[in-house]
Amino acid sequence: MILGVSAWTGNKIGMKESHVRIGFVVAFLLAGLGLGLYLILWIVKLLSK
């Protein structure tokens, strides 16, 4: 995506970037949690540098 969260998260947990993206989309479609989780992980990524 735009902020690089999927690639960063995939590297941290040992998954492919595309699988993480699919997880975010599914979480967003099921309960709307994907967007909030994505933004929280973006903040964590920024603070971890």
Between these two residues, 33 and 42, which has the higher pLDDT value?
A: 42
Q: What is the CA radius of gyration of the chain?
A: 10
What's the confidence (pLDDT) of residue 25?
A: 86
Between these two residues, 47 and 2, which has the higher pLDDT value?
A: 47
What's the confidence (pLDDT) of residue 49?
A: 74
pTM for the model stands at: 0.76
pLDDT, tens digit (0-9, with 9 covering 90-100), for 14-41: 999 999 989 888 888 888 888 888 889 9
The burial class, CB within 10 Å (0-12 / 13-18 / 19+), for 9 is: buried
pLDDT at 13 over 90: yes
6 vs 28: CA distance, rounded Å = 14
Break the chain into its structural domains and give their ranges: 5-47
